[in-house]
Structure 1
Amino acid sequence: MRRDPVRESWDRIDEWLRENAPRTFATLGPPAEHEEIAAAEEELGVTFPPDLFASLLRHNGALDGAEAFRFSTHDRLLSVSEIVGDTRFMRAIAEGLDEEEAEHYWLDTYLKFGSYGATADGLTIDCRRGRDSYGAIGRFFDETGTGFGRADSLGAYLAELADQLESGRDGGAVTFNGRLLWERARPLGPDWGSADDPLPRRDEQLPELDLSCRPTDVLHVGHLDGLEELGALLAILPREQVAMAARQQLRRVAVETGLNKYPEVRSVLDALDRCEAPPSPEQANPLVLRLRTVIAQANTQRDAPRRWAAEKMVHGIWGSPYRSVCESVSIRGHFTVDWRTDLHEDLGSPPLPSIPDDRFWGTLRNPAIDSTWHAAQYAQDQG
């Protein structure tokens, strides 16, 4: 019996999503109608490669939004009507290019079947019949144009995607709260420094820390918006619960980056756990001297994550717990894909709210979070 790589790959993809990311699976559309695809071919003046035709007969795109099914390139699967719309848009962009420029940028015989959304970037398929490249998969980039070589066919590309999903985090596929996310962690470099390293003289030239933060500082809502449902959870939980999570997150950062080996850091973390006030924030304070030294050493080692950890630890010790959580997860997101699960656990694992929208931020009333712009927009929308 003749193999059907598109159907076989979608079988594997769908099965994996049903089991591991049901919310993402639910965004995949039902089959397209043959007549709709034929009408799109006629409108665009191209013949869809058989694999694209077969894929659309399985899933006619994916609903847009944070839960949407996306390829590992972060491009959302497009429906027939969206393929027509995005392809027409690309043709309009390429109007006026000479033949040589168009060859590298965009040809009318290309289709876009996956969209990045924030830009015109997206996955493309070659519809030039009679060529060896017919059905080949490439990607368009705003700045550089279209490049191929990702796969010889959509069937092969979907099979590779199924392999990535089945490899889990080794393939970059991460799940949280029923959603598929594409992320890869970059391991930290070799550890350096010693707990026995003496503190520098107080007059030694070292990078200075920004010690202007205060526990009462207000956090702009933009810092939480990117955390999606976890950002919404942080916004509605009691401040004491957020402060506890901030301390636990700060401890994770210190342990994972090796800063916990320094006695000055361990001491303040232990004091925070006992709900004791931290030492006065001064540049000559032993704890501050240690963090300044670590920053100087990290600069020498070209170790950005450990430098960030030392810089941002200030917010966890002397600043707002909301800002502290945001700083901790921004650091941990570079070297672990488990940061969402860890944060949810540190917050006590309560039920997660929906991914916040403008209405959520517009109706939020938390004095620790500045959502005034959203509130004004919401009020205006309500008349």
Structure 2
Amino acid sequence: MSADAAQQAWDRIDSWLGAHAPAYAMLNPPAPEEEIAAVQRRMGVTFPPDLVATLRRHDGAHEDFLLPTHDRLLGTRGCEERSGFLRGMLAEVLDADDEEDDEEDDDGAYWHHHFVQFASYDITADGLTVDCRPGTSFGAVGRFFDESGTDFGHAPSLGAYLGDVANSLERGLPFQGGRTWPVVSDGALEWDASERSHPEWGDPSDPPPSADDASLPALPPRGSEEPLRAVHVRKLGGLGALVATLPRETVATAAARQTRRLADETGLARYPEVAAALDALVGGRPVELTGTGPLGLRLRQVRREASAHHNGVRGQAVTCLVLLLTDLPHRALVRTADVRSRISPDWRAALHADLGSPPLPPEPDTAFWTTLDNPAIDAGRRSTGV
């Protein structure tokens, strides 16, 4: 929990942000030395050296800069206020008459007087916490959940935690080997949670099943989905504005490329019938889809097997391909982007590239979406849409 470990980690984090993301500017300047000391006196705790070093480096951050747990780094005032709020929550849990004794005996399973929250989820009371109790646990990093209490084991110290953040940024790997990846979008750092796509199951050499196989699910019929509403496109931000305004042919090309990426990532492209269809679509050639043809039978088989393997992403890849094959490129593109956002950390950059890498517009406002004139997208003025 040395101050040096935190300082070295911040050197690496600040350097990476300065080179890759203007989010660096969202980190605050250092906290005054006297304020760091005053907060500790008022709280009646001693901060670990790496928390002091962190506050000396950055007195918190604005809401747009988040740590991998999507918690915002707090400054001196934030640490005091959030920890004080949680002390109040603890007091409500404990019996008023025995409050002092209970606090002394409390093992910190929920909260403890000597815990300090140094990063906050903001929407709830959840957040990253450092243990300031004297003893062997001093400096350990955990996370508080308002429903279940404090869970330690996230890192032995704040310096180690920040070192893991720096490793993830520099190497482009999931944070602490989990599912959260660092991604730069529109010049800002984001942490995306990715699921495993399990592309390994299924034997592509097996012939398609017979059309007489009663266990095969049907393909989704055209028009079976709700209209593509603007709210779904809006979730893509500036990329959504491009999807809504670029020519339909450009969107169709991007949808084919995105579907190919998704099929590769989920193992759907391993099947020869699917690979041939995707090659044709990416090349701008038409592909016929029927429920009893080789491609349709293969997709129906994959839907059945995806359900049996509890592999939703491959099943959704089938849906995306069917949408594309039934000439619904906007739906296919938005659905594919939604699925890829959960399994691929670079999905935004790939989507932008597949759209032709045009300049990203500013984040569109409500007026943009309510006045959108695109027959493929229901902006709320129509009861139906394509």
CA distance in 2, matches of 1:238, 1:313: 20
When residues 196 and 53 of structure 1 are mapped into structure 2, their CA distance, relative to the original with a 3 A threshold, is closer
Matches within 5 A, 1:5-20: 5-20=5-20
Instruction: Report the TM-score when normalising by structure 1.
Output: 0.81
Instruction: Report the TM-score when normalising by structure 2.
Output: 0.80
The aligned residue for residue 329 of structure 1 is 337
The aligned residue for residue 179 of structure 1 is 188
Q: Give 5+ residue unaligned stretches, structure 2.
A: 95-101, 176-180, 382-386
1:103 maps onto 2:108 in alignment: yes
Matches within 5 A, 1:1-383: 4-21=4-21, 23-65=22-64, 68=65, 70-98=66-94, 99=102, 103-128=108-133, 130-169=134-173, 171=175, 172-183=181-192, 186=196, 188-194=198-204, 197-202=207-212, 204-213=214-223, 218-262=227-271, 264-266=273-275, 268-269=277-278, 272-273=281-282, 279=288, 283-284=291-292, 286-318=294-326, 320-356=328-364, 361=369, 364=372, 366-372=374-380
How many Å apart are 1:366 and its aligned residue? 4.3
Asked if structure 1 preserves the Cα contact closer than 8 Å seen for 2:128 and 2:144, the reply is yes
Q: Give 5+ residue unaligned stretches, structure 1.
A: 374-383
Asked if structure 1 preserves the Cα contact closer than 8 Å seen for 2:117 and 2:129, the reply is yes
Asked if structure 1 preserves the Cα contact closer than 8 Å seen for 2:27 and 2:58, the reply is yes
CA distance in 2, matches of 1:319, 1:116: 42
Q: What letter matches 2:217 in structure 1?
A: P
CA distance in 1, matches of 2:217, 2:62: 48
CA distance in 2, matches of 1:252, 1:177: 22
CA distance in 1, matches of 2:367, 2:87: 36
Name the SS for the 1:63 alignment partner.
coil
The aligned residue for residue 378 of structure 1 is none
CA distance in 1, matches of 2:26, 2:106: 37
How many Å apart are 1:96 and its aligned residue? 2.0
- The sequence identity of aligned pairs, in percent, is 44
CA distance in 2, matches of 1:239, 1:277: 16
Asked if structure 1 preserves the Cα contact closer than 8 Å seen for 2:40 and 2:46, the reply is yes
Asked if structure 1 preserves the Cα contact closer than 8 Å seen for 2:17 and 2:24, the reply is yes
Q: What letter matches 1:140 in structure 2?
A: F
When residues 104 and 365 of structure 1 are mapped into structure 2, their CA distance, relative to the original with a 3 A threshold, is farther
Q: How many residues align?
A: 365
CA distance in 2, matches of 1:257, 1:95: 49
How many Å apart are 1:302 and its aligned residue? 4.2
When residues 45 and 188 of structure 1 are mapped into structure 2, their CA distance, relative to the original with a 3 A threshold, is same
How many Å apart are 1:267 and its aligned residue? 5.5
Deviations 1:102-132 (A, max 9, x none): 731112322211122343221011233x333
The aligned residue for residue 377 of structure 1 is none
How many Å apart are 1:95 and its aligned residue? 3.1
When residues 35 and 362 of structure 1 are mapped into structure 2, their CA distance, relative to the original with a 3 A threshold, is farther
How many Å apart are 1:348 and its aligned residue? 0.2
